[in-house]
Amino acid sequence: MIKKDLGLLLLIVVVGIVVAIINPRFLLPINLANTANLIGLFGILSMGQAFVIITGGIELSVGSLVALLGVLFVDFVAVQYMPWALALPLILLLGAVIGAVHGWLITRLNLQPFVVTLCGLLIYRGAARFYTADGTAGFAFGQSFPELEFLTAGRFYGIPVTFIALIIIAVAMWLVLHRSVFGRYLYAVGKNEEAARYSGIRTDRLVMSAYVICGLLTALSAIYFAMYTRSISPASHGQFYELYAIAAAVLGGFSLRGGEGSLVGVVLGTVLLQELQNLVNLLGIPSSLNFAVMGGVILIGVLIDQQWHAIRAKRRLASAARQVESRLPNEGSLPMVANRD
């Protein structure tokens, strides 16, 4: 863990202690289990966003994708009677394809990630509403899929399966990001894409791969959300989820400039966000302020990132100045060679 992660972990502990003192219900097993479930749901979504942010991009369509893919999954399973074992990989494949399309538009046609994903946000939301005729997609009364429900909304010894899935995926993605050549190349692209390209890195493929990973994790998250709610209103389902994902990544130390951040930080950022949401609920603060809290968290995260970069830049300049000063006496003490001519 880096210093940022340790600081974030300490903040989570402090906030948790304060919340528990203010309202002891925070430590009730049912509240902790519900919070862990939400951490799992939003954590998987945030990890996908993190892979895009590390390349210097942004993915604004994840909320609308959660709605569209969730609607399709429920329709396949509950209405079309497609076996869930077939519907699940089909939705995952569709999410990966959408991510690949975003990556292709950005790398091949040189469109801005903001523009591509903003258009996606509108297109996928509209497609979800059109597919359901602006109705609600859900399971009929009495419909039950025991294996699917356990794998997506069940609990294992009291621990939500979504939280267990988050831990497993986080470990796998940590290895990809921090212990593989692919991960090192992603950081290089985020730091300086031009320099990475001249050093022989296939930057286009890397950026496209980041969007594919994001699409895949978004699709998995969409399935979890669909089984969690069991009823989807395409006009509102998944709305502003992209903000949750961006906030978790920024809190976790990912710079919106790209090239920085750790996967542990994303998980911790998700924990802190859900802790704050829990605090809002337990204190009886109107839920309408949730987005105000989210906006404040993102702003604070960006300000901290800005100050962190400024401090690091000053340290580098000071270090360079000290090195120059240490060389000057040595250069001045060199013996002078007399001219014999």
Q: Walk along the chain (341 residues) and give the pLDDT tens digit of each residue.
A: 567 778 788 888 888 888 888 888 888 888 889 989 999 999 999 999 999 999 999 999 999 999 999 999 999 998 888 999 999 999 999 999 999 999 999 999 999 999 999 999 999 999 999 999 888 888 887 788 888 889 888 888 889 999 999 999 999 999 999 899 999 999 999 888 889 888 888 999 999 999 999 999 999 999 999 999 888 999 889 888 998 899 888 888 888 888 888 899 899 989 988 888 887 777 777 777 777 776 777 677 667 767 776 787 788 888 888 887 777 655 555 455 555 54
Q: Measured between alpha carbons, how far is 188 from 176 in angstroms, rounded to an integer? A: 14
Res 161: pLDDT = 93
CATH code of the domain covering residue 237: 1.10.3470
197: in domain: yes
Res 108: pLDDT = 92
Helix (H, G, I), strand (E, B) or coil at 93: helix
147: in domain: yes
Res 299: pLDDT = 78
Q: Find the helix or strand (DSSP H, E) in which 256 lies.
A: none
226: in domain: yes
340: in domain: no
338: in domain: no
What's the pTM value of the predicted model, to 2 decimals?
0.85
Res 330: pLDDT = 55
Indicate the residue type of 326.
S
Q: Which residues contact 55 (CB under 8 A, 6 or more apart)?
A: 186, 189, 190, 193, 206, 207, 210, 258
24: in domain: no
Give the residue numbers spanning the domain of 217: 29-327
Domain total in the chain: 1
Res 339: pLDDT = 52
Q: Measured between alpha carbons, how far is 118 from 99 in angstroms, rounded to an integer? A: 13
Contact 229, 237 (CB under 8 A): yes
Res 97: pLDDT = 96
81: in domain: yes
Neighbours of 131 (CB within 10 A): 16
12: in domain: no
